[in-house]
A = this chain, B = another copy of it.
Amino acid sequence: MRATLQRITAEFLGTAFLLAAVVGSGIMGVSLSGGNVAIALMANAIATGAALTVLIVTFGPISGAHFNPVVTIVDAVQGGIRWKLVPAYVVAQCAGALVGVWSAHLMFGQAVWQTSVHIRSGPGQWFSEFVATLGLLVAIWGCSRSRPDAVPWAVGLYITAAYWFTASTSFANPAVTLARCFTSTFAGIRPADAPGFVAAQFAGALAAATLFRWLKWPAARSAF
Of the four ranges (under 10, 10 to 19, 20 to 34, 35 or more), the interface on chain A belongs to 35 or more
Asked whether A10 is an interface residue with its Cβ less than 8 Å from the other chain, the reply is yes
Roughly how many angstroms separate A182 CA and B131 CA in the complex, as a whole number? 20
In the assembled complex, which residues on chain B have CB atoms less than 8 Å from the CB atom of A150?
A: 57, 152
A103 to chain B, nearest CB (A): 6
The residue from B33, B51, B128, B164 contacting A165, defined by CB atoms under 8 A apart: B51
A5 to chain B, nearest CB (A): 9
Contact B165 A28 (CB under 8 A): yes
Contact B47 A165 (CB under 8 A): yes
The residue from B39, B50, B153 contacting A42, defined by CB atoms under 8 A apart: B39
A48 to chain B, nearest CB (A): 8
Roughly how many angstroms separate A150 CA and B60 CA in the complex, as a whole number? 13
* Residues in chain A within 8 A of chain B (CB atoms): 6, 9-10, 13, 17, 20-25, 28-29, 32-51, 53-54, 57-62, 64-65, 103-104, 106-109, 122-124, 127-128, 131, 135, 138-139, 142-144, 146-148, 150-154, 156-158, 160-168, 211, 214-218, 221-224
